[in-house]
A and B are shown apart, each in its own frame.
Chain A
Amino acid sequence: MSAAETTPQRIAGRGAAPQRSLWHVILVRPETMTLVLLVLAVILASQLSPFFLDISYILRSFTLSAEFAIVALVLTMVIIAGEIDLSPAANMALSTCLFAWAQASGVPMPIAIAIGLVAGLAMGALNAFMVIGLQLPSIIVTIGTLTLYRGLAQIIAGDKSIRMPEWFIGIDKVLVFGVPATVAIFVVVSLVLGLILAGTIFGRQIYQIGTNEVAARYAGIRTRRIKLILFLLMGLAAAIAGMLTASRLGSVRYDLGLGGELQMVLMAMLGGTYIFGGRGTILGTFLAAWLLVVVSTGMTVANLLPAIQLTVLGVLLIVAIIATNLIYSRAQR
């Protein structure tokens, strides 16, 4: 009943909205909130342990979640386009298990890597087929494929772990300009995706689709093709992230990246990506990834049990979406 009363007012109010000042536009943004939280977290953490003011310590801690962070960047784009993908962590496990299984049974490394990447792409394609081709809701589809991919990985790898060859291990220890390689990859991917999302027609079309898919289609945007690209990109990113994880851990088990979907969604949400699509930035997810690393490293330094960290992550996720929704609804008025 209240909807009927308030709607005309709201329309009138929106038309009469005054031009907002620049500082208002910059300050009332989720990314600003993320940045403030990041600074606060660093200050708090450095009270806990002076190591936090040592950039190389933070960089080393970042290698632990860099793989998830890379996938979270692509996930951000998927969520902006109005879809969601909960399967990438399982995708990481299955594509990496296939890759590890292939190379353990004597396939040359380049072909094994290709197998892993193709598997990741294929999994992204299956998601895309169900969501775009058959028009099923991505939420439930990716819950299904999450279970399926993880289960297939379990069938392939059993409960054994597959060793990686010595030379393949340790990409997180390789330094590029003093930065661990996985972190460097994350930074580069952030830059590339950030430029694509903010500065290209393709990027703007992703926002369009998330804001109003029907309108976007009438405006001549190839919504299905763009979503297909995003889901394929998701699969590819997951496969690469899986291999980076394998290189860091030195062995592959079916439970690689277990529960990673929480961290990925959390990074996107903390970075101010709007869960209903159409809003969000790569910058936000980039900052949120660092925030999450500082928070979880801080908790480890403070000797909190991993289980408590799980609780904190769960609370953070809920608080993040509530805050983001509030900021966006404030900005709309």
Chain B
Amino acid sequence: MNALGRILARRETGIAVMIVLFALAVSLYKPQFLTLNSLRVILLLTPLVMIAAMGQMLVLVARHVDLSIGSMLGLSAMLTGMMFRDLPEIPWGLGFAVSIGIGTLLGLVNGALVTFFRLPSIIVTLGTLNLYRGLTFIVSNARQVDRQFIPADLKGMSQTSPLLGIPWIIFMAFAVALLTYWFAMHTRVGRQIFALGSNPIAAPLRGVKVTQVTLLVFAISGALSGLAGIMYASRWGFVNPSNTGFGFEFQVIAAVVIGGVSINGGVGSVLGVMLGVLLMGCVAAALPLLGIPGTAQSAIYGAVILVALLIDRSVRRQGIARFKAARA
């Protein structure tokens, strides 16, 4: 197979083609979709999802799933926001450490329950999804942290830009993606996550420390949700106990699975997930242009998850067929 063929056969190419086709189709109705301004809108929709998607990708690759990311985002954003409110003289940069730290802790709780008690991650994170959301209400007394309490510099990160008018948070999202790429592809532990996900029985026999790797992926997922939490405060300028991060998990899972991460573990790439996030951003940006009400978003996420499952299935069957043909 030549180089071009190899590129075309890649999963990421398919998603890129989908993005292009979608953009072209929308621009047939609304030409203004293909402008720099709408690209800006799309990019502004993506950073939170992209950051959390990197964590979710690692969790899915390890053959688990984390439903609690929206609640981890909410709880860490709320605690950080309350810190800003109650201790106004604290340097705002510390908020990042606090938010990421809380997220890591919550993620570790998920990981510990999954790995020490051998529980299915779906049920554990369904439990902690509600547990963390409840805790968010409890610590905040069901009160919102209002705009005036979020430091101006933090809010500025979503508005000011180091270059080309692109805000800081988008650069941060891409930095997280790059780091994840390096971690997943070029470190020993990163490769072990893939080994664990492709064959959970063989991996420990090859010296993969299952407990530690499992704890690690959930901790990373939590840490990145925490980072997304403080960026939520930066992007929207408030933290609300019921809205912040609510339903976020479906958005992220939709982006991750359409980005080619297999639900059967062991398969996934950072580039694919980035493209998946971008595709979901395009869809979200196109809806108001096409006059589709925002209420349709949730249905679209659901449909995207199902379509992604179908694609994943046909890709896997092709792979099996090719494997059999090669052996015959």
Contacts and interface: CB of A to CB of B under 8 A. Distances in A.
Interface residues of B, number: 48
Contacts of A159: 295
Given A148-B306, A313-B130, A314-B129, A321 B119 contact: yes
Nearest to A157: B295
A155 B296 contact: yes
Contacts of A158: 293, 295
B299 A275 contact: no
Interface stretch (B47-55, B134-142, B189-197): B134-142
Interface string A298-333: 000000011111111111011001100100000000
Interface in B9-64: none
A183 interface: no
A25 B92 CA distance: 60
Contacts of B302: 144-151
Interface of B: 65, 67, 113, 117-120, 122-124, 126-138, 142, 204-205, 241, 250, 253-254, 257, 263-264, 293, 295-303, 305-306, 309-310, 313
Given A307-B138, A310-B131, 19 more contacts: A130-B309, A136-B313, A137-B263, A144-B305, A145-B302, A150-B299, A151-B300, A154-B298, A155-B293, A158-B293, A269-B123, A275-B123, A305-B138, A305-B142, A311-B135, A311-B138, A314-B132, A317-B123, A322-B113
B259 to A, nearest CB: 14
Contacts of A136: 263, 309, 313
A146 to B, nearest CB: 7
17 contacts: A1-B205, A130-B306, A134-B310, A136-B313, A139-B120, A140-B253, A143-B65, A143-B305, A144-B302, A151-B295, A269-B123, A275-B123, A311-B130, A311-B135, A312-B134, A314-B128, A318-B127
A151 B134 contact: no
Nearest to B250: A147
Contacts of B113: 318, 322
Interface in A257-282: 259, 261-262, 265, 269, 275-276
A325 B118 contact: yes
